[in-house]
Amino acid sequence: MVLASMPVVLRFLQWKTDIPVYISEDLNKKIWSRGNFGAMGRIRVRVEKANCLSNPEQRCLRVSLVEVSSFKNLKDAVVAADE
């Protein structure tokens, strides 16, 4: 159920931190693409620390969608800041 999954994701990202979390528009559309009760099975996301758009002096977490062709044999990867 999509309504239950979004607060769980936000709670996980804000665990032990006070940093605000912003979800990208394409990730939000992908999550809600099947409607309220058609939750996605798996979604690959990228979480990065960046300056907030509303207050550039404050740091925030940005969550964006990463498109993958298959979820088999995926590994965690540290991505360089310039990519």
Contacting residues for 32 by C-beta, under 8 A, at least 6 apart: 2
Domain chopping of the chain, boundaries: 2-65
20-71 confidence digits (pLDDT tens): 888 889 988 888 888 877 777 788 888 888 888 888 888 898 888 888 888 8
3-state secondary structure 20-74: CEEECHHHHHHHHCCCCCCCCCCCCEEEEEEECCCCCCCEEEEEEECCCCCCCCC
pTM of the model: 0.71
pLDDT at 1 over 60: no
Instruction: Domain 2-65: give its CATH code.
Output: 3.10.440.10
Q: What is the pLDDT of residue 32?
A: 82
